[in-house]
Structure 1
Amino acid sequence: MRFSTFLTAVASLAVGVNAYWLGDIQHQGLAPFAGNGYKVFRNVKDYGAKGDGVTDDTAAIAAAMNDGGNRCLQGCASTTTTPAVVYFPAGTYILSKSIMPPYFTQLIGDPTNRPVLKATSGFQGFGLVDGNPYFGEPLNWVSTNVFYRQMRNFVIDTTAIPPATAATGIHWPTSQATSLINIQFNMPTDASTVHVGLFCESGSGGFMSDLTFNGGATGASLGNQQYTMRNLVFNNCKTGIIQLWNWGWTYINLQFNNVGTGIDITATPNGQPQTLNVGSAIVMDSTFKNAQVAIKTRYTSSTSPDTAGSLILENVSLTNVPTAVQGQSGTLLAGGSTTIAAWGQGHQYVSGANRELNGGITPNSRPSSLTSSNGFYSRSKPQYQTLAASSFVSARSSGAKGDGTTDDTAALQKAINSATGGKVVFLDYGLYKVTGTITIPAGTKIVGEGYPIIMASGSFFGDINNPKPMLKVGTNSGDAGQVELSDFVVGNSGPAPGAVLIEWNLASDVSNPSGMWDVHARVGGFRGSNMQVAQCQKTPGSANVNTNCIGAGMLMHVTSKATGLYMENTWLWTADHDIEDSSNTQVTVYSGRGLYIESTVGNFWLVGTAVEHNHLYNYQFANTKNIFVSMFQTETPYYMPLPDATKVFPVISSLNDPNYATSCSGIAGNCAESWGLRIINSSAFYVYGAGFYSFFNNYSTTCSTVSAGENCQSRIVSLEKVSNINIYGLNTIGSLSMLDRDGVSVASWKDNVNVFPSNIILYRSG
């Protein structure tokens, strides 16, 4: 390098030109309910952290996370009012104790040079990062209510802790709208090591991707209701993954190198070796190299519950792996150096096949439009690390207030329209109230700071019979181009019965699709929504509808000519409880429809998505094709059947709304309740994990137990005039029928009992 070039490079570094843009950009995020002077963005170096690999930075990092004085930590149930983005520039940060991110916190490192969090030899705590501490006997937060947090771009290093001393990299019992992304775990490789990289013992997830585990006794020790995990690498671990318990889990593109065991799903309660804790697992498009055993399982026809421990392998490559699947009594599937096309254990509903599955199966025939070089198409969340701060257009600098009361419609549209020439809209944290449609043209990129929320409000969204879009992606259905959206929330402020929170019209090239990453919907249940305990507290036993608690007509609509959309870790939630309430008190809030895709062109990827508590349905697909899904999840509204699905929202035939008044004729039980999944006149679906749950009957959970007969509702999945539907790992709770085709039940819950849900590991339609 010439000396003049060297001086130029040094000068650029000095002014921050080559630093990650998040550290350089002007931060104007406003938390309207947090008090004057509250900082949303915090750089740990502004609080005294050195990152020099020598100084103990524990206290400085804690100061950065807890700044503001009213952050939600010990004794706080949950809140959206005090968000924080805590930024770590490159460096090595020494930790002597756990750092504990409060509720609604994002920890973000520089992706161009990931910061290292390194434990001292005498480290004390449960995880270098403890995402849900045990201040007493229970977890600080109810793990199924831990939302809106993420951690990305770090190296977690426990190598200074003696190998034989228990150590955990990250403790992460959390739920929806959370993520761990682009993190490397470094642990000792000594034979005596007992270190664990990631420990998660409970929750209702979720999504993680791009994690690497080096060394340790266990890379990841995992227990949660359901999860999608993508792009995980395990190097020199004794065991890559120990599954503590689950209902359903989908693993995509995992790599195991020089491990003893890849994945262990044999967990049982103490003293009950024939009773299993793990519901099911799906492992796809993955590789095992130089492992002793790829998968350990305990599933047999005599284990309990009946379908517990169900398993699917598809497109799994082995290199020097003696045993592919090891059972209780020895090898179930031999290994070697080969590729397992498809293999499974559990219950199957396939024409002409025995219900009991234990062996090879025909793999799915995947459409080329959904695949890339190493399986189904996927893309990690863009972080724009090659851009400078000057490439971002701030919503606040464009005139938007984000204070929860000002009409920000025009200002947000101005910001979007001005972000041309490859620029990105930076949605500074805030609550942005809008009173009309905002159009997002092709070529737009929007990234949020700490999950800001755009809220539909006012009379424009008031007609329940004529829903109108709040965010309109593409002007007309079939408009060509690409859009990228990440890290923000859409919702409501007051009643908006005619709001479609997102309308997606864009037709993108399937080889370079549009994307939504960590984009969520939240209707009611938060400060600013005007639908909290004070306005919408539940009224068990009453079917009366408070029209002031109708928050949306539809959460997301993908129109007829749209195509080429990749959705990852998107949670579309109509609130069941008040996040701001100290007891998480339940509320009754209404939204008509969840996610509706009616694209006749098809080609969509739904990776780790969830849609909950919508009145007519949660997921509906009509007249479409070529859909990939991994571990999607729903819940029926807790208030049902008071009112049931024949009330509140009128049937709009142009939207293919289900008409429960006619379809429930002759069906016993609570038939007129929200579909978890409805597929109409469609084909070529590839579902790798699903959970459709109905826990309540008018706020009572007595209906969702095995002893009660799983009778919260009559049916929950409907296939109508379909073909080529392929489902691995269908889990249901509280529904008498697990799956209906053309109005006839295909499978009953009682024939497929699992650890808490019922499970069908394989279903295929003709």
Structure 2
Amino acid sequence: MKTDITKFTDWCEKAPFWTDMRAQAIIAQKNKARLENPSFNKHEFLAPEELAKLGNPAPPLDLNVLPGDNSTVAARVKRRHPYTLPDEVIEAARIIAESVPQIPTGDQPDAYRPAKLQRPMGGLGRFGDGVEYSSNSTAVESASDGPNDASQVAKRDYGYWMADMPQLGASPYAPAGYKVWRNVKDFGAVGNGVHDDTAAIQLAITQGSRCGASCNSSTIVPAVVYFPPGTYLVSATIIQYYNTQFLGDPHNLPTLLAATSFTGGSVISSNVYTGDNEEWYLNTANFMRSIRNFKIDLRIAPAGTYLAGIHWQVAQASSLENIEFYMRYNSDTPGNTQQGIYMENGSGGFLADLTFVGGNFGAYMGNQQFTTSHLVFVNCNTAVQIHWDWAWTMHDYIIESCANGVVVVGGAGGGPDKPDGQGVGSLILVDSIIANTPNGIITTLLSENSTSFLLQNVGFFNVQNSIRDSASNRVLLAGGNQVTLQSWGFGQVNNVTGTGSSQFVNGANIAAMPRPTALLGSQYDNMPSPNIFTRRRPRYSDVPQSNILNVKALGAKGDGATDDTAALNAILAGACNTSSIVYFPYGVYIVTDTLRVPIGSRIIGQAWSQIMGKGAKFQNEQAPRPVVQVALPGEVGIIEIQDMLFTVQGGTAGAVVVEWNAREQSPGSVGLWDTHIRVGGAKGSNLQYEQCPKLSGQVKAGCKAASLLMHLKPGSTAYMENAWLWVADHDLEKITKDQIDVYAGRGLLIESDRAWLWGTASEHAVLYQYQFSQASNIFMSMIQTESPYFQPTPRAPLPFTTGLFPNDPTFSNCAATDAKCFASWAVRIVDSSAIYMLGAGLYSWFYNYNQACVTTNNCQNKGFEVEQSQDIWIYNLCTKAIVEMISPLGSAPTLAADNVNGFLSSILAWLQGAENLSGPRDFAGFQMYPAEWVQNEFSGPATCKTALQQTIVCDDYVRSFTNEGYRGSLQNKTRMDSVCHADCGKSLASWVNHVSTACQGYNITQADPALPGGRMWAGYNETCLVDPANPSVYCNELNPNSDLEYVYSRCGITNRPTALHPPRYLVPASPYDDCPTDSWYTTPSQTTCDDLATQHTISSASLFLANQNRLPNCAATTVIPAGTKLCLPPSCNRTLTVAGTTVEECHALEANRTLGLAPGDIVRLNPWFGFECRDFNATVPVYGRVICLGAPLGEFDVGGGVAESDTTTPGTADGDDYGYGYGYGYGYADAGETRSDAQMLHEFLQTASNFIGGALYNF
């Protein structure tokens, strides 16, 4: 009998049940230790030899320790040491899973799916009637291919087109036969909830040289793992490999059901621990992942093993979307430890449309920075627990019937167990509801170095404690049936004072940003404001294959070698004409000229299909050219782009990777989702370690890879969600991640007048990462930047030329000895308004590849500049190793050292630009040519248009210098100092030089486009010449009469002519017979100057000046007899009859916005009024009351490039003639001079140079 008992015991110990039970008990201890002691990010870049070790396998799980054992071995087991599951454990879990019915129990609802997409039939000129997306979105209409009746909202009978069509996706660099698309059922998965599908799913993921252990990263072998509808029983963790998408069927979400025998830490894991802090993939470089369209059910799995639905330890270009998590209720299972998401660290990322039902934690999260939107938590013990971060923006959270809503652990300094300060730095909760939950928010705000916490548009409904401090057990904000917060916070606030200093706000109302209607979506009941608008990616789930254009089936190759430009442009043009969706199966599609995405395009890729710009057309930095152009300027309608990657094959110094012109027809109708820009570091880019190693001692021409990553052009709008713009800092194909020097001039340039940026990042561009130039109505949620690792070698802006794009920073204000000034701007806001930033993480990790500056927090001096902008609202600004957190032009900066908050520096709100103009220039500035005309009518190249629109930062009086002639003294020392400001001279020089270079060969009104700027520069140099012996005295003030002899003697100029040119007024050669316009008019009856001026759209003053020998004056009472022959001057297109005659009334005209005038326009268009209208009251009674509100020469006559066969020769002057020059004054011509283009400019400026000793201007 004893022998039988022994045999039975031996059998039990070897039985699958016993093995599984023991494994689960040990794993529970390890998972608990990992949860309670999570690892944190390391900012130090690991040495290559350390990176190479990351793939070493962890030891097998030790099953020789019983759960109740208190031995040393057992104590070790209870720590978070990593493990590998032995084969016998995996097999035991499988056997049990298939032997016991796996049926979830409980009353959790199973209907948390987003509304289904409905799309209208026909063309894309409008949206349809269907409504989709998260509940906070405006009812955006979206496209369909079926009738617009209610029956079409129901599920279609046909399948999912992406799964049903031929699978043509292929990686040109992968081994032959490699499959990108993997249907798990093709690998043996059954999906019936009975058969254990773990091994089959893992096989679908791993087959074919995938990037798993001992890989670290690779772009060569991407994969989409598709799950058809069904219930997939799993008994061990599914490991998602690098560069992989898990895609569930969007019609009927597949379920991943964790078995009762489940062993492991999570159902899906994005990384595998091989040591306490070592893993397969470097957490801050764990890029290119997504999981969407799933249900994950943990309800029958063990309740006490700290099992998570997804272990999500990721970096940029990652996302979780449209996933439902089902867990046990803690009320039913006391002590339950299940959790939906476990995220311990990383550098992400984007989460959206997730639902958590039950569980100890809905989501347990920590990461450097993150954007999360529309997360729903129902009946969780704790909905969200944040254990560490640097910055996080949580948008549109709905927390219902949980015990605790949001729990923030530790504070920014972390506490004694986190001596490196890796605590919770800052959080924003916005547009969110917490209801029927006893504790809304639990945190430790009252402790030293606390978390910065901002709540905006947040409602607490039937909540006992809205906000409670757990350390002091103190209620900071009481609950109630309805408590709503417009804007409430806890942290450092930099107010509107402009002093740069911050004040600590200890839990109080904080100024709330305006919410322009154009940026808003729908509003929840009883909430203070509508939500910020969101739109999730279009699913196209119900589209028949007949409406899908597969580019490979239609002739595009995507093989990384063939030029696909013509094929793709033809397909895109045809698709928008037929209202079809363009599908790019995975491939590398080479384009050697611009890929044009017409308005009406809908594009979807596969595992981030690549469009790669290559060739000579993208190589000229001085002539930037878009690789991908999204719509043409002025086009309005629909653009939808998702799952794409835009890149280049270097060297392509002139590439603008994406140029965006599209304008929405309704909110969010032009956008991109999960679409990224990558420059360098990948196979096929020719920008890897072999071509561009770091610290090579030179800038290699082939490593200059882009002028600009992305440009949102003037007039465009954009909706961007989860977009990463990355200039590679390391080689993705090497496990050692060898660092590289790849150069891109600029990151994201925004000139739009409306855009939403949800979860975007821009890294390693030379001049800036984000620049807002004349932009407005821009919303951002958690932007992230890094400066180039190689700077300041070379010093910015090198190796690029400035002036090719609007408002390029020149770094000219940096002292030569201040190397840390020559570093890329993280953010610049210039001439912009209505900019709203909810979260920013701006980091600088290196000084010429040295990281010592991270410890001293001074890798660069400045990172965020604001210039001449207002209505700027910056919340939750977090920086690392940047001395000045934010630097308004000419104002006191906000210093990082004064705002240290844990590992970073952070300010909860920066409000200096909220109500007042921030970073004001000494002069607002003006543009030489009307912007609308330049953009829409001038036919020159983009670089020329940019140069023409460069703001001239000068006193408005300088505009009058377009008139030729000697300007003389302004007879006002204060105004002279203003006109002669040094910045004006620099600005004029920059404008002329850039226009001369960029617009060479193009004409405006048959003259060189640089002519008016050249005249201004000459006038500036002439007017502002000073006495060397007394620099406070302007030489023009010393000119007593009509020659320059005295000026020369005082200014040290010799051997120059002393006679001045004649004044630049109309002095006809023949007083009565000459009319330079050849436009004569004989009065049919008696009239007045004012009547004639109104009739012919001219000013009465110019009528008098053109007829001084024919008219006594142009006073209102002066009658012109019938039969008087008059010379008509050029029309100015727009006139106004003035009533008053005082200087104040003159100024009031400019202030009248309905006239469309800028300060100084009245004098500029009517120069006889004199400086600041001082002669207005004297001239109106004599010259008449009709003044010009437009240019006297009318609209510009645009000339194209000068052709070789152009034989047009301008006439010459006789020395006493006169002619109309450029702009708003008249130009005099000497004998033999021509009145045309560049020669006129050269001769005029040479004349100016001669009479002021050559010191004025050389063209």
> TM above 0.5, one fold?
yes
Contact 1:494 1:530 in 2 (8 A): yes
Equivalent in the alignment of 1:267 = 410
Is 1:175 the counterpart of 2:315? The answer is yes
Q: Are residues 1:22 and 2:168 paired?
A: no
Residue 285, structure 1, aligned to residue 442, structure 2: no
Q: Are 1:309 and 2:463 counterparts?
A: no
Q: Does 1:369 align with 2:549?
A: no
Q: Which letter does structure 1 place at the counterpart of 2:513?
A: N
- C-alpha distance in 2, partners of 1:247/1:731? 7
Identify the residue that residue 664 of structure 1 maps to in structure 2.
Answer: 814
TM-fit CA distance, 1:202: 1.1
- 1:335-734 pair list within 5 angstroms: 335-336=479-480, 337-352=482-497, 355-358=503-506, 359-374=508-523, 375-419=531-575, 420-475=577-632, 477-539=633-695, 542=697, 544-563=698-717, 565-599=718-752, 602-652=753-803, 654-660=805-811, 662-665=812-815, 668-705=818-855, 708=856, 710-734=857-881
Structure whose residues are more often strand by fraction: 1
Paired residue secondary structure (1:533): coil
1:394–1:415 CA contact under 8 A, matched in 2: no
Cα displacement string for residues 166-208 of structure 1 (whole angstroms, at most 9, x for unaligned residues): 2111001000000000000100002321101101111101111
Q: How far apart in 1 are the matches of 2:610 and 2:383?
A: 38
- Residues 605 and 628 in structure 1, CA contact (< 8 A), matched pair in contact too: yes
Q: Displacement, 1:558?
A: 1.1
Amino acid at match of 1:184: E
In the alignment, is the contact (CA less than 8 A) between 1:588 and 1:639 conserved in 2? yes
Q: Does 1:749 align with 2:896?
A: yes
What's 1:191 paired with? 334
Equivalent residue letter for 1:334: A
Q: Is the 8 A contact 1:284 1:314 kept in 2?
A: yes
Normalized per residue, which structure has more helix? 2
Amino acid at match of 1:323: N
Q: What TM-score comes out, normalization by structure 1 length? A: 0.94
Tell me the distance in 1 between the aligned counterparts of 2:286 and 2:554: 33
Match of 2:465 among 323, 338, 341: 323
SS in 1 for 2:301: coil
1:702 & 1:559 partners in 2: Cα distance? 39
Distance change in 2, residues 1:191/1:527 (3 Å): same
Displacement of 1:391? 1.6
In structure 2, distance between residues paired with 1:105 and 1:366:
38
| 1:81 corresponding residue in structure 2 | 220
TM-aligned CA deviation for residue 744 of structure 1? 3.6
- Return the match for 2:477 from 320, 324, 333: 333
Among candidates 93, 97, 120, match of residue 232 of structure 2: 93
The Cα offsets for residues 304-343 of structure 1, whole Å up to 9 and x where unpaired, read as 3xxx400000010111111111113211111212211110
Question: Match of 1:78, SS?
Answer: coil
Which protein has the larger Cα radius of gyration, Structure 1 or Structure 2? 2
Secondary structure class of the residue paired with 1:163: coil
Which secondary structure does the structure 1 equivalent of 2:455 belong to?
strand
Residue deviations 1:127-176 (CA, integer Å, cap 9, x gap): 10011111443121111111111000000111111323321110010000
Counterpart residue number, 1:13: none
In structure 1, distance between residues paired with 2:683 and 2:305 = 44
* Residue-by-residue CA offset, 1:488-544 (whole Å, 9 max, x unaligned): 10011121100001101112134343111011001000000011111111117x3x2
Q: Tell me how far 1:666 sits from its aligned partner.
A: 8.4
| 1:681-717 CA-partner distances (Å, limit 9, x unpaired) | 1111111000111110011111122xx1x11111000
CA displacement at 1:604 relative to structure 2: 0.4
Write the deviation string for residues 413-456 of structure 1: whole angstroms up to 9, x where unpaired.
12212213321110110111110011111110000011111111
User: SS state of the match for residue 469, structure 1?
Assistant: strand
Q: Does structure 1 conserve the Cα–Cα contact (< 8 Å) formed by 2:795 and 2:819? A: no
Q: In the aligned structure 2, how far is the partner of 1:679 from the partner of 1:533?
A: 34
Give 1:124's aligned residue: 263
Q: Please name the residue that 1:66 is paired with.
A: 206
Q: Is the 8 A contact 2:620 2:654 kept in 1?
A: yes
Secondary structure of the structure 2 residue equivalent to 1:203: coil
Residues 465 and 652 in structure 1, CA contact (< 8 A), matched pair in contact too: no
| 8 Å contact kept, 1:244–1:278 | yes
Q: What is the CA deviation profile of residues 363-413 of structure 1, one whole-angstrom value per residue up to 9, with x for unaligned ones?
A: 222000000113111011111112122221111112111111111111111
Distance 1:17 1:259, change over 3 A: closer
Q: Deviations over 1:577-600 (max 9, x none)?
A: 00001111111100001110113x
**CA 354–704 in structure 1, closer or farther in 2 if over 3 Å, else same:** closer
Distance verdict in 2 for CA 1:167–1:451, change over 3 Å: same
Q: Deviations over 1:433-481 (max 9, x none)?
A: 1100111111100000111111111110011111111111112x22111
Alignment partners' CA distance in 2, 1:382 and 1:627: 22
Give the deviation of 1:56 after TM superposition: 0.4
* Map of 1:253 onto structure 2: 396
Q: Residue type of the partner of 2:347?
A: S
- TM-score, length basis structure 2: 0.58
Partner letter of residue 888 of structure 2?
R
Q: Is the 8 A contact 2:785 2:842 kept in 1?
A: yes
Shift of 1:653: 5.1
8 A contact 1:531–1:589 mirrored in 2: yes
Matched residue type, 1:731:
C
1:654 to partner: Cα distance: 4.5
Question: C-alpha displacement at 1:272, in angstroms?
Answer: 5.4
Q: Is the CA contact 1:267–1:276 (under 8 Å) kept in the aligned structure 2?
A: no
Root mean square deviation, CA, Å:
1.6
Where 2:406 maps in the other structure, the secondary structure is strand
What letter is aligned with 1:115?
Answer: P
Question: How far apart are residue 34 of structure 1 and its match?
Answer: 1.1
Q: Which moved more, 1:223-232 or 1:358-367?
A: 358-367
User: Is contact 2:201–2:238 with CA below 8 Å preserved after alignment?
Assistant: yes
What is the Cα deviation at residue 354 of structure 1? Answer: 6.5
Deviation for aligned residue 1:669: 5.0
Provide, for residues 242-269 of structure 1, a one-character-per-residue CA deviation record: whole Å limited to 9, x for no partner: 1111000000000001111111112365
Structure 1 alignment gaps of length 5 or more: 1-15
Measure the CA separation in 2 of the matches of 1:201 and 1:318. Answer: 28
User: What secondary structure, in the 3-state scheme, does the structure 2 residue paired with 1:372 have?
Assistant: coil
The CA distance in 2 between the partners of 1:668 and 1:593, in whole Å, is: 22
Q: Deviations over 1:45-70 (max 9, x none)?
A: 111111111110011111111121x1
CA contact (8 A) 1:448 1:488 kept: yes
**What SS class does the counterpart of residue 900 from structure 2 fall into?**
coil
Q: Secondary structure at the match of 2:841?
A: strand
Structure with greater contact order relative to length (CA < 8 Å, sep ≥ 6): 1
